[in-house]
Structure 1
Amino acid sequence: MMKTENYCFVCGKQNPKGLKAVFNHVNGKSYTEIILEQEYQGYSGIIHGGIIAALLDEACVYAANSLGFNTVTAELKIRFKNPAAPKEKLIVQAEANHVKSKLIEAKAWIKDKQNKIIAEAEGKLIIKEKTK
């Protein structure tokens, strides 16, 4: 099992500067809802693209890991569609559905409460070890 100290920037409960996102993940899918504060913005009133990218990456990893593997990201292609505002509820989802011998392909997306797509991603994750 890959080591964790619960200090992950996106999901770690012990990281005082982290996002503390809590992902539900099962059968190749992951899901979380999160409200980001102003400290995560880039331009005024817009959440920084790097934070959006980190959420998409984490969603892909959780989806892939729910298939019974520990994975790390090899590639992440992101398309930003609309800005996200601080204090706005965001819905983050991913689906991992294509498993190769050492690679899992996943797709992730973030929507706002009006169901408008904020960003979407395609990820390739390297299988480090089998957990199930």
Structure 2
Amino acid sequence: MMKTEDYCFVCGKQNPKGLRAVFNHGSGKSCAEITLEPEYQGYSGIVHGGIIAALLDEACVYAANSLGFNTVTAELKIRFKNPVAPKEKIVVEAEANHIKSKLIEAKAWIKDKENKVVAEAEGKLIIKEKTK
């Protein structure tokens, strides 16, 4: 099994500067609700695109890993559609499919409080090992 110290920037509970997102996951899907603090903004009043990208990446990995594998991201294509304001609750979701012996493809998206897509991603994840 791949090593973890619960210090992941996105989901680790031990990282004092991390996002501490909690993902529910299973059957190739993942979902998290999160409200981002002003510390994660880029331009005034807008959450930094790198933070949005990190959340999309993490959602893809959780969805892929729920299929019974440990994976790492090989590619992530992101489309930013609308800005996210700090202190605004967002929902991050993903779905993954086992495509080839060493590859999983995933799609992820983030929606705002009005259910509008603010960003979406397509990812390719490499299977490092089977967990189930």
Q: Quickly name the TM-score band, shorter chain normalised.
A: over 0.9
Q: For residue 81 of structure 1, what is the aligned residue in structure 2?
A: 81
Unaligned runs of 5+ in 2: none
**1:107 equivalent in structure 2:** 107
* Residue in 1 that maps onto 2:116: 116
Q: Could you tell me which amino acid in structure 2 is paired with residue 31 of structure 1?
A: C
Q: TM-score, normalised by structure 1?
A: 0.99
Residue 97 of structure 1 aligns to which amino acid in structure 2?
Answer: N
The CA deviation at 1:97 is 1.8
Structure 1 portions without partners, runs of 5+: none
For residues 73-130 of structure 1, give each alpha carbon's deviation from its aligned partner in whole angstroms, at most 9, with x where no partner exists: 0000000000000000000000002421100000000000101111000000000000
Alignment of 1:1-132 (within 5 A): 1-132=1-132
Match of 1:118, SS state, is strand
Q: Distance in 2 between matches of 1:120 and 1:48?
A: 15
Partners of 1:12 and 1:50 in 2: CA distance: 17
- Give the Cα separation in 2 of the matches to 1:87 and 1:105: 31
Give, in whole Å, the separation in 1 of the partners of 2:85 and 2:71: 30
1:24 to partner: Cα distance: 0.3
Q: Residues of 2 paired with 1:90 and 1:59: CA distance?
A: 13
User: How many pairs does the alignment contain?
Assistant: 132
Q: CA RMSD in A?
A: 0.5
- CA deviations 1:40-63 (Å, max 9, x no partner) are 000000000000000000000000
Q: What amino acid sits opposite 1:8 in the alignment?
A: C
TM-score (norm 2): 0.99
What SS is found at the alignment partner of 1:53? helix
Alignment partners' CA distance in 2, 1:94 and 1:100: 19
User: Partner of 1:70: helix, strand, or coil?
Assistant: strand
Give, as a single letter, the amino acid of the residue that structure 2 aligns with 1:111: K
